[in-house]
Amino acid sequence: MTAVPDESPTDQAAQWFTRMNRNKIDKEELRVFQAWRLDPENLAAYVVIETAWLKAGELAKEANIQAATPPAPPARASVGWAPIPRPKNPFGMAAIAGAFTAGLILLCGLPVRSDMTIIGAPGLLDLADASKVGLNSDGAVQALMRPPRRPPKPLA
């Protein structure tokens, strides 16, 4: 930690106390802390911060504090079910909705346009039974593949 010149030793001590009480401290950070603490003014400020922290932790044990503190609410009983977890992938719900919509279209027999033409240009659509249907941009045809006949009908 590099000390900022405008920070008081108490401010620096509070920062060091916070850093020293983390789970992981590397060797270099510990070396810099020990060097900082060699200054008697820094050491005194650190002891003040550390003592205040320890005293604050002991306050909960005092009878006056316990009397003034309302009791914690009881823990809620488990009702036997867990909330539905949110999907981790935001695109997952979109994929599910798209698959559901495609399934509805296919199951309900709604016409699905599989071939498009450029505006004003005629197009030729090859059907599964090797027949061909001519289309332009103003028309649409639905052909149901049911043996023995396949009557095309114009769509409005």
Res 138: pLDDT: 62
Res 142: pLDDT: 61
Res 33: pLDDT: 92
State pLDDT tens for residues 62-99: 888 778 888 877 776 666 666 666 667 767 777 788 88
Buried b / exposed e over 39-60, threshold 16 CB at 10 Å, is: eeebeebbeebeeeeeeeeeee
Residue for token digits 């994929």? Answer: 95
**Residue 34 pLDDT greater than 90, yes or no:** yes
Query: What's the pTM value of the predicted model, to 2 decimals?
Result: 0.41
Res 44: pLDDT: 94
Least confident of 14-18, 37-41, 66-70, 78-82: 78-82
State pLDDT tens for residues 131-154: 776 666 666 666 555 556 556 666
Res 156: pLDDT: 54
- What lies within 8 Å, CB to CB, of 156 at 6+ separation is none
